[in-house]
Structure 1
């Protein structure tokens, strides 16, 4: 019961705060077409950008895995209230069952959001999970650039997370897609991880420049 109450309270605070934000959302035409056709895709982003991004769960019909820990269960409540579908599991516990549930949801037309340097870092280092799922489901990968003009930063957090302040301007720009990982590609190949890291860093810098000039 505690996780539901805390989850609801966090959602209520987040929802109230997010309604004050001025969000500029830029999407490739191919992404918009996939959304209209209800074709699933993968959204790659840095872990630290999550607070700014989870407001879009309903728009992208997001499905994701949530940890079976107490914090993970509370986060699952928040995500569901924001419009996401969740399946229990993580890289350390319940991973197989969680992945099966995630695949089922994506085959039903949901897309998946990936904090590619999560769940424990190191920061800005892409893990192979996004490529493994891309290969399994033949899904393209869109990657984000996120910036904000005012925010509370948490310097001790490993993922460099931030919370946009009330009435903040937020730019969320999606780029791509990166084509689906093919059957003859190794999802653990460091070269494809490095390529996505470069694209994400470039997208981030572009978003920061736009906000600074606005």
Structure 2
């Protein structure tokens, strides 16, 4: 618990120094208008998880966090900033399911209740930047529209992990992009939705780099003003 508090206060201090600008906010309204429950499901790369969550402070989403002890500080920090956390992990090396199925079902039920959600589409163990089928399955079963979601910091530390996890440096500029909604309406096109999401996230990364160069010309509008 002590470590969880330390990580939370570090994340809080860092976040207070970050400067965010949000692009593609119209895609949130577009997704909500097409979702049965007037919500949406963000798809994000695992490496951008931390600042992706911090960029949504005050706008609670439901997320799945691993049930491992290593993930306890992440779950604690998420809850402290208002994120709704469901704990569950995929099967381990011994083939034991660690509440993964239950977590996924709970996520689907919360989406049906109208909560917006967020999923690390290549997590929890990779391969990096390859969209797994989980988000499409949840979108189909909850009738929720997917939004590609990419927050990119101007400067960051990159960890030597499978996803090259990013920790934005203090006072970093962060561009937060929302891609065009993806409506998953048929299980027959399951893989095509994965390909579409992966392609969109890759395209957004290039747009984010351009946006950071043109930071001064970007609108300062954020998701609060989009409501």
User: What secondary structure is seen at the aligned counterpart in 2 of 1:177?
Assistant: coil
Q: TM-score, normalised to structure 2's length?
A: 0.83
2:122 is the counterpart of 1:117: yes
Residue of structure 2 in register with 1:196 after alignment: 197
2:129 is the counterpart of 1:132: no
1:123, 1:159 within 8 Å by CA — same for their partners in 2? yes
Residue of structure 2 in register with 1:8 after alignment: 5
1:145, 1:205 within 8 Å by CA — same for their partners in 2? no
CA RMSD of aligned residues (A): 2.1
Residue of structure 2 in register with 1:98 after alignment: 103
Q: Which runs of 4+ in 1 moved over 3 A?
A: 32-35, 56-60
Q: CA deviation at 1:83?
A: 0.8
Alpha-carbon distance in 2 for matches of 1:84, 1:146:
17
Q: CA deviation at 1:32?
A: 4.1
Q: CA deviation at 1:201?
A: 0.4
Alpha-carbon distance in 2 for matches of 1:85, 1:123:
25
User: What secondary structure is seen at the aligned counterpart in 2 of 1:24?
Assistant: strand
User: What secondary structure is seen at the aligned counterpart in 2 of 1:196?
Assistant: helix
Can you give the 5+ residue segments of structure 1 that lack an aligned partner in the other structure?
none
2:14, 2:170 within 8 Å by CA — same for their partners in 1? yes
Distance 1:202 1:16, change over 3 A: same
Alpha-carbon distance in 2 for matches of 1:168, 1:204:
17
Residue of structure 2 in register with 1:47 after alignment: 46
Can you give the 5+ residue segments of structure 2 that lack an aligned partner in the other structure?
92-97, 216-227
Q: How many positions carry a matched residue from both structures?
A: 206
Q: CA deviation at 1:89?
A: 1.2
Residue of structure 2 in register with 1:185 after alignment: 188
Alpha-carbon distance in 2 for matches of 1:157, 1:102:
27
1:57, 1:79 within 8 Å by CA — same for their partners in 2? no
